Chains A and B, each alone.
Chain A
Amino acid sequence: MRRVYMDANATTPLLPEVLEAMRPYWIEHFGNASSIHFQGQQARTAVNRAREILAEFFNCREAEVVFNSGGTEGDNTAIFGVLRPGDHFITTAIEHSAVLRAAERVAERGVEVTYIAPQPDSLIDPAAIRAALKPNTRLISVMLANNETGVLQPVEEIGRIAAEAGAFFHIDAVQGAGKVPFDVDRFGCHLLSISAHKLYGPKGVGALYIRRGTPIDPMMVGGVHERRRRAGTENVPGIVGLGKATEVAMQSMNDGDVERVSALRDRLEAGVLRIPGTGVNGAGAPRTANTTNIRFDQVEGEALIIALDLKGVAVSGGSACHSGSTEPSKVLMAMGLDKHAALASLRFSLLRTASEEDVDYVLGVVPEAVERLRTLAPA
């Protein structure tokens, strides 16, 4: 059976050149980057080379790049590391759980949290952020691209508001990496988290940009790694993989991959929308090129995911982190969808390597699966 993977927002495969770049760092160049000797220096060189690439990618100084275990750690560090009891924190209702659960946790510890609801097109209105500001607002955290809808938030405007208010600004940029150009100065952010495995790099590694002068308490303490901002022996192969994946991503954006994927996504969307009783969630807003979130009326989304998987098509409902739960997507609910519409919505997120044949295969499978579900088990 042909298998078409349309769940790139959950994770991506490693690119062969990324695997090749990582390969020497398991056995031959196995050193600890903190060691003084030759092997240590080999590892240190590799980590710093990756840091150089990330600094170019973020448009920041190398010293402002901290390697970690991924998006969740970056988001958690930004929130737990900056906020203290008595502070005010502004975030949105449509953030990833790594932000929302951390927000709940700091709220229990005496931080006041304001959640900004999105507009119906799932865009956060910067004016709503401005209106929520308080004299003690210390941190604002807004995602760059939504994991479920791909909708891109107006982070530059929010960055300006944060600057005027003297608040720190964190961007969860996990779903934006490799899809839109980054520039931490243009974004006006103090913190920005990314994850390698959404970027055709390895799982378990990521990076947090920390603008110079941002006071942050480390989550992991121990050795003096990463300038005391993240203790623990560096994951050298992982960091090398993240560096290589980032390098390839920058090249790919220059080579027009984004436009190509966007055209495929539009073709997929147009094909699926020919099925009666369907609609795109977040269609009115700017979105990442690879993502579409489609509502199938009278269909139980969970069953459609299974039906499609059994036909070789991998998609998801809501975010992968929530599969197996009853809860309708918070993001879609916050956009004003009712529970049934939210549970009837699926996310298709295309890989950078997607082809027209992939899209056509999916378009050959989806209408029949939807028809069968509507006939035999209408929601």
Chain B
Amino acid sequence: MSGGVDSSTVAAILARAGHPVVGLTLQLWDQTRLAGKHGIPEAPKAGRCCSLDDVYDARRVAEQLGIPYYVVNQEERFERDVVRPFVDEYLAGRTPIPCSLCNNHLKFDQLLKTARSIGAERIATGHYAVNDYDEARGRWILKRPADLAKDQTYFLFGLTQEQLAHTLFPLGHLTKPEVRSAARTHGLRLAEKPDSQEICFIPGGDYKRFLNAYLEEQGEAVPETSGELVASDGSVIGRHEGIFNFTVGQRKGLGVASPSPLYVLNIDPANHRVTVGADEELATQTLRAHDLNWISIPALTAPMRVKAKIRHRHEPAWATLEPAGADAITATFDVPQRAVTPGQSAVFYEGDEVVGGGWIY
């Protein structure tokens, strides 16, 4: 229970249906920890994951429902498995997705283990996704939810069969307005609480400020990765102050004047070189992904037609998957896609089903 409307409504639906429910909140990050460093606000805004306000809201919902409620502290694991990799990925010139790491390492790993170890059969979360067991295939299947605008399957591609078997997504068949309506029906005071949008541990969404503040707190220098800004023909057109300031597809903050808009095309971490070019040059036909997890199939053994999604807000596009060595694949798009970004995940769909996914490299 995050203290938001989704997980609160899940708790209400299950508890009011008579299921024995225990509310758990993961305390993942101390929002006051970097306060005041590098322009991070002194007082965290309300409505942010793990803020005292949100824990209070979650607890109030549990009190209203009359269910036991506990805060489980996983700050150490969160820092090790999510925050540190997030920082390292940026420093290495990639663009990480902390939410997927958190799902893989915290929510559906440690939280599920904790839940089962204290006697629960399953965890239920407020994610918008559907999971069903398919007898014919003998597999748990993850599907896109009723509300495609809230679809969170992109962040859930790492779920194992064991995890899916012990997870409930009660909101999968509801739309967000229906969830808010259910929250009102159950008399939850936070039915109108705004959705959280940004990365929960990055105040204001400014990751560069966070990187600086975190490294300073750790007593580490920001690595020297300044270098050349080059055009796609290799000509040097300027300099930049560090590769972690860039994401493939980025337009703002390049620091060079140009008659037509320029975008980051590529980040070369070894040579600290950032290549920029026109929008058309961002298109990529084939991506490579590794560190795979398969859901609807046991493994990819032959080419397969899928729709591939390469970032959270990307509309899945037709592609052909092919095995490409141990725990790696290529996905070749029918129509080249804009801004394939190393560090993001590629998630593959067959109809509504999540086939599997991996990390773009």
Residue A377 interfacial (CB < 8 Å) = yes
Contact with A along B12-44 (1 / 0, CB 8 A): 000000000010000100000000000000000
Residue B76 interfacial (CB < 8 Å) = yes
On whether the beta carbons of A377 and B68 are closer than 8 Å, the reply is: no
Nearest chain A residue, comparing its CB with the CB of B110:
A377
Chain A residues 184-220 with CB under 8 Å of chain B are none
On whether the beta carbons of B72 and A303 are closer than 8 Å, the reply is: yes
Q: Bound complex: CA of A325 vs CA of B32, how far in Å?
A: 14
In angstroms, how far is the closest chain A Cβ from the Cβ of B264?
Answer: 38
Contact with B along A296-330 (1 / 0, CB 8 A): 00001011001101110000000000001110000
Residue B119 interfacial (CB < 8 Å) = yes
Q: Bound complex: CA of A311 vs CA of B73, how far in Å?
A: 21
Residue B235 interfacial (CB < 8 Å) = no
Contact with B along A311-353 (1 / 0, CB 8 A): 1000000000000111000000000000000000000000000
Residue A366 interfacial (CB < 8 Å) = no
Residue B71 interfacial (CB < 8 Å) = yes
Residue B118 interfacial (CB < 8 Å) = yes
Given A324-B73, A326-B73; A303-B119 close (CB under 8 Å) = no
On whether the beta carbons of A326 and B118 are closer than 8 Å, the reply is: no
Residue B218 interfacial (CB < 8 Å) = no
Nearest chain A residue, comparing its CB with the CB of B30:
A326
In angstroms, how far is the closest chain A Cβ from the Cβ of B117?
Answer: 4
Nearest chain A residue, comparing its CB with the CB of B111:
A377
Q: Bound complex: CA of A307 vs CA of B110, how far in Å?
A: 15
Given A324-B27, A377-B113, A377-B117; A306-B70 close (CB under 8 Å) = yes
Residue A373 interfacial (CB < 8 Å) = yes
Count of interface residues, chain A, beta-carbon cutoff 8 Å: 16
Residue A127 interfacial (CB < 8 Å) = no
Question: Across the A-B interface, how many residue pairs have beta carbons closer than 8 Å?
Answer: 43
On whether the beta carbons of A307 and B117 are closer than 8 Å, the reply is: yes
On whether the beta carbons of A310 and B73 are closer than 8 Å, the reply is: no
Contact with A along B68-90 (1 / 0, CB 8 A): 10111101100000000000000
The prevalent SS among residues of B at the interface is mixed
Q: Bound complex: CA of A377 vs CA of B110, how far in Å?
A: 8
A302 neighbours in B (Cβ, 8 Å): 72-73
Q: Bound complex: CA of A125 vs CA of B146, how far in Å?
A: 67
Residue B193 interfacial (CB < 8 Å) = no
Q: Bound complex: CA of A373 vs CA of B72, how far in Å?
A: 15
Residue B116 interfacial (CB < 8 Å) = yes
Residue B330 interfacial (CB < 8 Å) = no
Residue B114 interfacial (CB < 8 Å) = yes
Q: Bound complex: CA of A311 vs CA of B118, how far in Å?
A: 9
Chain A residues 255-313 with CB under 8 Å of chain B are 300, 302-303, 306-307, 309-311
Given A306-B118, A307-B119, A324-B71; A376-B27 close (CB under 8 Å) = no
B75 neighbours in A (Cβ, 8 Å): 326
On whether the beta carbons of A377 and B71 are closer than 8 Å, the reply is: no
In angstroms, how far is the closest chain A Cβ from the Cβ of B345?
Answer: 26
Chain B residues 36-72 with CB under 8 Å of chain A are 68, 70-72
Q: Bound complex: CA of A326 vs CA of B73, how far in Å?
A: 6
On whether the beta carbons of A310 and B118 are closer than 8 Å, the reply is: yes
Q: Bound complex: CA of A43 vs CA of B70, how far in Å?
A: 42
Nearest chain B residue, comparing its CB with the CB of A375:
B117
Given A302-B73, A325-B73, A326-B75; A310-B117 close (CB under 8 Å) = no
Nearest chain B residue, comparing its CB with the CB of A372:
B117
In angstroms, how far is the closest chain B Cβ from the Cβ of A307?
Answer: 4
A376 neighbours in B (Cβ, 8 Å): 113, 116-117
Interface CB pairs A-B, < 8 A, 18:
A300-B114, A303-B118, A306-B70, A306-B118, A307-B117, A307-B118, A309-B70, A310-B22, A310-B68, A310-B118, A310-B119, A324-B71, A326-B76, A372-B119, A373-B117, A373-B118, A375-B117, A376-B116
Give chain B's interface residues, CB within 8 Å of chain A.
22, 27, 68, 70-73, 75-76, 110, 113-114, 116-119
